[in-house]
Chain A
Amino acid sequence: MKRRDFLKILGVGGVGTGLGYFFGKASKPPAAELIPYLNPPVDVIPGVANWYPSLCTQCSAGCGIHVRVMEGRAKKIEGNPLHPINKGKLCARGQASLQALYNPDRIKKPLKRRGNRGKGDFEEITWEEGISILSKNLISLSEKGEADQLYLLTSQIRGSLNNLLNSFMVSYGSPNYLQYELFQNKNLLHASQVTMGVNAIPHYDIANTKYLLSFGADFSSTWVSPVSYSYAYGQMRQGEDGIRGKLVQIEPRLSLTGANADEWVPAKPGTEGVLALAIAYAIVEDGYYKGPDAASWKALLSGYSPKDAAVVTEVAEGRIREIAKEFGQTRPSLAIGGENLARYENGMSGLVAVNILNHLAGNIGVRGGVIPNSNGSRTIDFKNNIAALAEAASASKVKTLLVYDTNPVFTTPKAMKTEESLRNIPFIASFSSFMDETTAMADLILPAHTSLEDWGDDFADPSVGYPVATLMQPAVSPFFNTMGIGDIILSLAKGVGGKVKDKMQWNGFSDYLKDAWKENYSKDKDMLASALTFDEFWNQLLTRGGWWPDEKAKVKAVSVSPKGIEAHISKVSSRFEGDEKGFPLYLTTYAHSSHLDGRGANLPWLQEMPDPMTSVVWGNWIEVNPTTASSLGIKEGETVTVESPFGKINAHVYLYPGIRPDTVSMPIGQGHRAYGRYAKDTGSNPIEILPFKEDPETREIALNSTRVRISRTTASEKMVKIEGSTKELGRNIVQTISPEEFKRMNKEVS
């Protein structure tokens, strides 16, 4: 071989080997470099799960959960069997909250607005930058003497986080800490206050009652504390004592709970309060009331005789008297007022009427009836609500707005002009994990942890007759570059400096939480009795998932006085906007069982879960009575325009026999314009076309407050249903026995 050739071969060979080596290295997947889980971290055993008790935040019920974590990833959420509210059970929304943690649309790090507001153009920044921007804004505001023009808007947060936020705002010098959620139960709370003198939602002991009169309360899916009530419902129906409780549902639209009821009373929309008072009248008149002041009650209710009420409510007089008889005579009985009743423009008065019913039947403070909760010292400033914020913003009295865990742009009617008023605010910062409609208008986004990554606690409201505190602890380390909300506020306090910094000296929210609980521990004798040291107590809290007493307090009877009630009951049934001629149908809206107020729409499991009453997935619909639809020439699945005096939207028609012919109904929760790939452009949002009407006392926004008209329009997309046919065709699929036969059967067995 010639020398030249030899050198050529050597050169090429060497270069080739080198290149090959580097290519090989580069093309190897990164995983090939990882240390295999033969040496796992200390707290991880591969293949064996860790379970962390925590708190579910998908609605305000405050159920306790167990999170199954394997190798540092959250795999499944179950109910906490020890927790008194949900007793180890969990609803669909709680199960789906896992997908909020690992959602592809999560905001992964702090963002700063780059383009115009609302255009969605953001750039990523670091946490130091973000906190410093916000701190500078707050400092400048304070220096200009406009500290009271800082507004903090959150969802209904209870517990230590609430206290922290309060301290922050107070020490900063702003009184403007508002809480706003669509389903805040303000009416229910105030009705309890007014009638029973207790500032907490009472515990409705559905498990032990034998006659449940529900005024539109959909407690099987969305009302107040659905898991707790569903569990109780199961006990009521087929409990240990073998006596089956009866459920009567009064509502213009058959809800999921109504579908399980023994009787459905389709009262005219807006008149259920009148119906309640008529039943109360019949109870007193026919002598079922055994308490004091019978004469004053009769006088108070004189305007609501069943005869007159029958005309107004379109429920037969005989039926009213029958219900009164059963309700008054069955011991114990229970009347509950749900969202449908609470969200008329005079919703609170309807709830007061329901409380009157309970009092007259002797249900308050009785097992199987209404058990007042004792979390007494809460006060709600009704004047300081979202409408006030919108007003102030329009008047340029809001310089900086901080938003956390709430989406007012979606959950307020267009008539309230929330979006326009937000545009008036010079600086908006959001702590949301998702780019929802409100966050899309922010100038600075500091994403907070989801509830599975964060610390916190909650004092359940309603509780179950005794105080229940739940602890939230991180089940997994933060998945993205986010911070806990408490930690953000504390960093902000440090950044703002001055008085605020002095008042809020904690290093992190977990320290704040621990200190708060140290105080609780030192003041409560039961807690002191349960553990020798605070550290032991704290560990107990973390293992158990919260604190609840073993000894349940005795139930005390509470009575309702007729004095002063009159002011709270309005004489007329609630008004609906829109004249009857132009807008012939009443519109009722309700919380979607999967999406609630819209918060679940970005979770694909919830989008794919068929709605219990219509089986529609990935979309929205309007429920129309089949006779109404045929008279308008509308077939199922067709798109209609739903028009109120305040706006119009499109929706697909679902022929629903369980609704009055003069009423149509739409679920709330779909119709997002932002909020991620799963939520975007699925259906329409009925809140948009509602009027801006509030309850006169509590200023809670009325959801059943307008009439609409529907007309056919060109179809945009298809309505997707899972169901084939809903006729049983005599195939004995769901077999039944009558209540009489059941009673007989029980007698034979026992």
Chain B
Amino acid sequence: MAGFLERITERLNIYREPGWYKKFDHKWTMVIDLDKCNGCGACVLACYAENNIPVVGKEDCDKSRAFSWLRIERYVEGEYPDVKVKFIPVMCQHCGKAPCETGCPVYATYHNQDGLNVQVYNRCVGTFTCATYCPYDVRRFNWRTYKFEQPLDNQLNPDVTVREMGVMEKCTFCIQRIRVAKDKAKDEGREVQDGEIQPACVQSCPTGAMTFGDLQDPSSKVAKLAKSPRRYRLLEELNTDPSVIYLKRVMNDGAGTHEE
């Protein structure tokens, strides 16, 4: 009995032990340089196009049911003429200690061995626990069956499912592109190169604020950027261990430096 319990607890928490990811080849990480990000929103549109995200219309947007997996948050401080505007793109942080993963009763969301927080659409029964637990509010729900007005459905990406009503979804770091690249590398008998995988948002970002890659590859761009003294993570004090690293914006916002 003790052995059985041990096996279960080991399985449940195995990915939280330090060094776990070293056993595998990848730990996907995204670095977003807030000093370069200008808030244009190209990443948001690219995500819509790549991941078959439905357009919900004005009424549902009013009810705060807009679907964008990736959103640009904008914070405005100050009064005229000392107005400070700050932008930050927020998507699923693929937390190492994700609150959503422990919450889901049916294991529809779990941590895969590449460090991604994976959502299994066909397992989801829609208890909303993951969405409530997420501190970053990145999960989106299919409130009804969304129609892709014909012939717009010709544009749907065949590599990504179209989700059913009642299912939770969120940013996947374009896992379809990761799979394709990993398969290709395997077929060609080599490692995945740095820069070979670019999620739609990273690929489209005009300023080059977003970088994606394998944190465990010391020569990758993200590994170098992740060592920047400007690095921080969103809501780090909650100890969710996110895989998205932000680089602080250089700005005189009068509040002094925000030390870690």
Tell whether any CB of A sits under 8 Å from a CB of B in the complex: yes
Contact of A737 with B80 in the complex, beta carbons under 8 Å: no
Task: Determine the distance from Cα of A608 to Cα of B72 in the docked complex, in whole angstroms.
Answer: 13
Contact with B along A95-132 (1 / 0, CB 8 A): 11011011110000000000000000000000000000
Let me know if A563 is at the binding interface, CB within 8 A: no
Partner-binding segment picked from B103-111, B164-172, B215-223, B229-237: B229-237
- Encode B231-253 as 1/0 by CB contact (under 8 A) with A: 01011000000000011111111
With A233-B36, A657-B76, A659-B80 in contact, is A76–B55 under 8 Å at CB?
no
Q: Does A395 contact B (CB under 8 A)?
A: no
The interface bits of chain B over 76-89 (1 if a CB of A lies within 8 angstroms of the residue's CB, else 0) are 11111101011110
A508-525 to B contact mask, C-beta < 8 Å, 1/0: 000000000000000000
- CB distance B206 to A89 under 8 Å? yes
Residues of B within 8 A of A47 (CB): 158
A609 to B66, CA, bound (A): 9
Contact A244 B155 (CB under 8 A): no
Q: A95, A102, A720 — which one has the most chain B CB atoms within 10 A of its CB? A: A95
Beta-carbon contact of A658 and B80 below 8 Å: yes
Smallest Cβ-Cβ distance to B44: which chain A residue: A609
Within 8 Å by CB of A95, from B42, B56, B85, B229, lies: B42
B206 touches A102 (CB 8 A): no
Once A73-B155, A76-B49, A619-B58 are accepted as A-B contacts, the answer to whether A737 and B72 lie under 8 Å apart by CB is: no
Q: How far is the CA of A256 from the CA of B231 in the complex (A)?
A: 24
List A62-90 residues whose CB lies under 8 Å from chain B.
Answer: 70-71, 73-79, 86, 88-90
User: Is A749 an interface position by the 8 A CB rule?
Assistant: yes
Query: Is B234 a contact partner of A75 (Cβ separation < 8 A)?
Result: no
Contacts A77-B49, A613-B74, A615-B74 given; does A226 touch B40 at CB 8 Å? yes
A95-B49, A612-B40 given as contacts; is B232 within 8 A of A735 (CB)?
yes
Select A256's contact among B38, B45, B154, B256, beta carbons within 8 Å: B38
Least Cβ–Cβ distance between B253 and chain A, in angstroms: 5
Q: What B residues does A96 contact at CB under 8 A?
A: 45, 49
> Separation in Å of the B81 CB from the closest CB of chain A?
5
A727: which of B45, B75, B235 is its contact (CB, 8 Å)? B75
Q: Which of A230, A231, A605, A749 contacts B229 (CB 8 A)?
A: A749
B80 A660 Cβ-Cβ under 8 A: yes
Q: Is the CB of B83 within 8 A of A264?
A: yes
Could you tell me the distance in whole angstroms from the C-beta of B102 to the nearest C-beta in chain A?
24
Residues of B within 8 A of A658 (CB): 76, 80, 83, 85
Is the beta-carbon distance between B46 and A95 smaller than 8 angstroms? Answer: yes
Contact B38 A257 (CB under 8 A): yes
Tell whether A104 pairs with B150 under 8 Å between CB atoms, given A230-B206, A658-B83.
yes
Q: Tell me the complex Cα distance, A226–B230, Å.
A: 27
Pick from A234, A257, A608, A625: contact of B61, CB below 8 A: A608
A side interface size, CB within 8 A:
92
Residues of B within 8 A of A594 (CB): 41
Kindly supply a per-residue 1/0 record for chain A positions 669-686, scoring 1 wherever the CB is within 8 Å of any chain B CB and 0 otherwise.
000000000000010000
| A738 contacts the other chain (CB 8 A) | yes
Is B112 in contact with chain A by the CB < 8 A criterion? Answer: no
Does residue A10 face the partner (Cβ distance < 8 Å to B)?
A: no
From residue A85, how far is it (CB to closest CB) to chain B in Å? 11
Asked whether, in the complex, the Cβ of A735 is within 8 Å of the Cβ of B158, the reply is: no
Q: Which of A228-263 contact B (CB under 8 A)?
A: 230-231, 233-235, 237-238, 244, 254, 256-257, 259-260, 262
Q: Are B40 and A735 in contact (CB under 8 A)?
A: no
In the complex, whether B189 has a CB less than 8 A from a CB of chain A is no
Distance in angstroms from A230 CB to nearest chain B CB is 4
| A231–B206 CB distance below 8 A | yes
Q: Which residues of B contact A749 (CB under 8 A)?
A: 229
Given contacts A77-B49, A736-B250, is CB(A627)–CB(B86) below 8 Å? no
Which of A220, A221, A608 has the largest count of B CB atoms less than 10 A from its CB?
A608
Identify which of residues 254-281 in chain A touch chain B, using a CB-to-CB cut-off of 8 Å.
254, 256-257, 259-260, 262, 264, 266
Indicate if A365 sits at the interface (CB-CB under 8 A). no
* Docked-complex contact B200 and A102, CB < 8 angstroms: no
Cα A659 to Cα B85 with chains together (Å): 13
Q: Taking the complex as formed, is B62 at the interface, i.e. its CB lies under 8 A from any CB of chain A?
A: yes
Whether A720 touches B38, Cβ cut-off 8 Å, given contacts A76-B200, A742-B250, A749-B229, is no
C-alpha spacing A77/B155, complex, angstroms: 11
Smallest Cβ-Cβ distance to A658: which chain B residue: B83
Give the residue of B42, B68, B73, B79 whose beta carbon is less than 8 angstroms from that of A733.
B73
Question: Which residues of chain A are near B85, meaning CB under 8 Å?
Answer: 254, 259-260, 613, 658
Q: Is the CB of A726 within 8 A of B75?
A: yes
Asked whether, in the complex, the Cβ of B155 is within 8 Å of the Cβ of A74, the reply is: yes
- Distance, CA A256 to CA B207, complexed state (A): 14
Measured in the bound complex, the distance between the Cα atoms of B232 and A613 in whole Å is 25
Q: Is A92 an interface residue (CB 8 A)?
A: yes
Q: Which residues of A contact B45 (CB under 8 A)?
A: 92, 95-96, 605-606, 609
In the bound complex, do residue B209 and residue A234 qualify as a contact, i.e. CB atoms below 8 Å apart? yes
Please name all residues of chain B whose beta carbon is closer than 8 Å to the beta carbon of A660 when the two chains form the complex: 80-81
Q: Mark B23-65, 1 if CB is under 8 A from A, else 0.
A: 0000000000111101111101110111000011110011010
Is A736 touching B40 in the complex (CB atoms < 8 A)? no
Q: Which residues of B contact A74 (CB under 8 A)?
A: 154-155
Interface residues in B, total, Cβ within 8 A: 76
Question: Which A residues are CB-close (under 8 A) to B74?
Answer: 612-613, 615, 723, 726
Contacts of A19 in B (CB 8 A): none
Q: Which residue of B lies closest to A725 (CB)?
A: B75
Closest-by-CB residue of A relative to B76 is A726
Shortest Cβ distance from B33 into A: residue: A238
Q: Does B113 contact A (CB under 8 A)?
A: no
Q: Known interface pairs A237-B36, A609-B41, A734-B88. Does A99 touch B80 (Cβ–Cβ under 8 Å)?
A: no
> Is A227's CB within 8 Å of the partner chain B?
yes
- Whether B3 sits at the interface, judged by CB under 8 Å, is no
B79 touches A626 (CB 8 A): yes
Answer yes or no: A143 CB below 8 A from chain B CBs: no
Q: Is the CB of A617 within 8 A of B50?
A: no
Q: A95-B49, A612-B41 are in contact. Are A234 and B207 (CB under 8 A)?
A: yes
- Contact partners of B205 in chain A: CB under 8 A: 89
Q: Is A610 an interface residue (CB 8 A)?
A: yes
Cβ–Cβ < 8 Å partners of A103 in chain B: 151-152
Instruction: State whether the Cβ of A618 lies closer than 8 Å to any Cβ in chain B.
Output: yes
Taking a contact as CB atoms under 8 Å apart, the answer to whether A220 and B66 are in contact is no
Contact residues in B for A718 (Cβ distance below 8 Å):
62
Q: Is A722 an interface residue (CB 8 A)?
A: yes
| B36: chain A residues within 8 A (beta carbon) | 233-234, 237-238
Are A104 and B152 neighbours in the complex by a CB distance under 8 Å? yes
Contacts of A102 in B (CB 8 A): 151-155
B204 touches A (CB below 8 Å):
yes
Chain A residue numbers with a CB within 8 Å of B42 are: 89-92, 94-95
Q: List the B side residues contacting A723 at CB < 8 Å.
A: 73-74
Measured in the bound complex, the distance between the Cα atoms of B64 and A733 in whole Å is: 21
B66 x A608 contact (CB < 8 A): yes
* B-chain residues with CB within 8 Å of residue A613 when the two chains form the complex: 74, 85
Most buried by B among A99, A262, A728, A735: A735
Distance, CA A748 to CA B234, complexed state (A): 25
Q: Is the CB of B258 within 8 A of A732?
A: yes
**Cβ of A79: which chain B residues have Cβ within 8 Å of it?**
203-204
Contacts of A607 in B (CB 8 A): 55
Question: 13 A-B contacts, Cβ less than 8 Å apart?
Answer: A74-B155, A89-B208, A233-B38, A237-B35, A238-B33, A238-B36, A619-B58, A718-B62, A720-B58, A722-B61, A733-B88, A736-B248, A741-B257
The 4 A-B pairs with the shortest beta carbon distances in the complex, nearest first, are A234-B207, A230-B206, A259-B85, A618-B58
Known: A104-B152, A738-B250. 5 other contacts (CB 8 A): A91-B40, A102-B154, A226-B206, A619-B58, A736-B251
Chain A interface (Cβ within 8 Å of chain B)? 47, 70-71, 73-79, 86, 88-92, 94-96, 98-99, 101-104, 220-221, 226-227, 230-231, 233-235, 237-238, 244, 254, 256-257, 259-260, 262, 264, 266, 479, 593-594, 604-610, 612-613, 615, 617-619, 625-627, 657-661, 682, 718, 720, 722-724, 726-728, 731-739, 741-742, 745, 748-749
